[in-house]
């Protein structure tokens, strides 16, 4: 997430303002990519952004499931050439006070709308809201507030983030294993044997394509990885 951009609704996901803020989707963007460009394989930022996060940014709290997820995609160009992408999406803690405050504000607005909705269904006025809501409505509202809720004073906010490998051939298993090892290194309390940049440089510039019908072994962050190329 880009703290300077703030929480922008994801237009591609359609209108979802009736959902709680933690179940809405927000606009994502490519924060960084390396190398900046390759002459024979130009970087399509919009396509990669959309395919890495087809549902936009999503938020969670410590009470939600935050297991990392893997998926892949294909970009087919007008000339028929293909580029393959392999993505690992995980959740990282939001450290921006601005973003946390914005999420809190969205929840306050959402809760106010829910109160108004319950009040309207109970034919009550705002001044007599507490006394006019019947027991069933009050119970439903309490459950709604407990589910998918966010309180900046007690909850930890997490946001989705993706790391992606783009390759000229579909080395699915090798790429996913590399991404998993990279993710473990990022989230581990212990630093990896070498700086993370060295592993990225290695796979980009030092690991050659295996010949057709052959296999190649290269080293990830923790374990060797076998890359197989069909004949």
pLDDT at residue 117 tops 70 = no
Residues present in the chain in total: 231
Tens digits of residue pLDDT in 178-210: 999 999 999 998 999 899 999 999 999 999 989
Do residues 221 and 184 lie in contact, with contact meaning Cβ atoms separated by under 8 Å? yes
The Cα–Cα gap between 130 and 121 comes to: 14
Q: What is the pLDDT of residue 123?
A: 54
* 40 or 123: which leads in pLDDT: 40
DSSP string for residues in 192-209: PSS-HHHHHHIIIIISPP
The backbone torsions φ and ψ at residue 61, rounded to the nearest 5 degrees and listed phi first, read -120, 180
Tens digits of residue pLDDT in 64-97: 899 999 999 999 988 888 889 999 999 999 999 9
Cβ-Cβ contacts under 8 Å for 198 (sequence gap 6 or more): none
* Residues in a beta bridge with 167: 84
Q: What is the pLDDT of residue 216?
A: 93
Cβ-Cβ contacts under 8 Å for 7 (sequence gap 6 or more): 26, 99, 102, 103, 106
Average of per-residue pLDDT values in the chain: 82
Break the chain into its structural domains and give their ranges: 1-168, 171-231
């Amino acid at each position: 997430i880009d703290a300077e951009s703030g929480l922008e609704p994801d237009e591609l996901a359609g209108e979802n303002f009736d959902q709680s803020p933690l179940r809405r989707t927000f606009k994502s963007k490519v924060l960084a990519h390396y190398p900046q460009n390759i002459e024979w394989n130009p970087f399509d930022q919009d396509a990669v952004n959309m395919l890495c996060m087809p549902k936009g940014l999503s938020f969670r709290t410590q009470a939600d499931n935050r297991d990392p997820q893997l998926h892949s995609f294909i970009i087919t160009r007008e000339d028929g050439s293909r580029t393959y992408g392999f993505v690992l999406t995980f959740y990282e803690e939001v450290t921006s006070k601005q973003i946390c405050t914005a999420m809190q504000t969205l929840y306050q607005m959402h809760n106010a709308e829910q109160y108004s909705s319950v009040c309207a269904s109970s034919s009550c006025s705002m001044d007599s809201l507490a006394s006019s809501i019947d027991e069933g409505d009050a119970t439903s509202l309490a459950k709604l507030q407990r589910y998918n809720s966010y309180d900046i004073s007690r909850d930890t906010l997490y946001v989705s983030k993706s790391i992606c490998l783009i390759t000229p051939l579909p080395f699915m298993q090798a790429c996913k294993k590399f991404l998993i090892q990279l993710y473990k290194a990022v989230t581990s309390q212990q630093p990896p044997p070498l700086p993370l940049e060295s592993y990225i440089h290695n796979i980009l510039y030092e690991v050659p394509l295996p010949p057709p019908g052959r296999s190649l072994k290269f080293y990830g962050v923790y374990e060797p990885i076998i890359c197989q190329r069909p004949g």
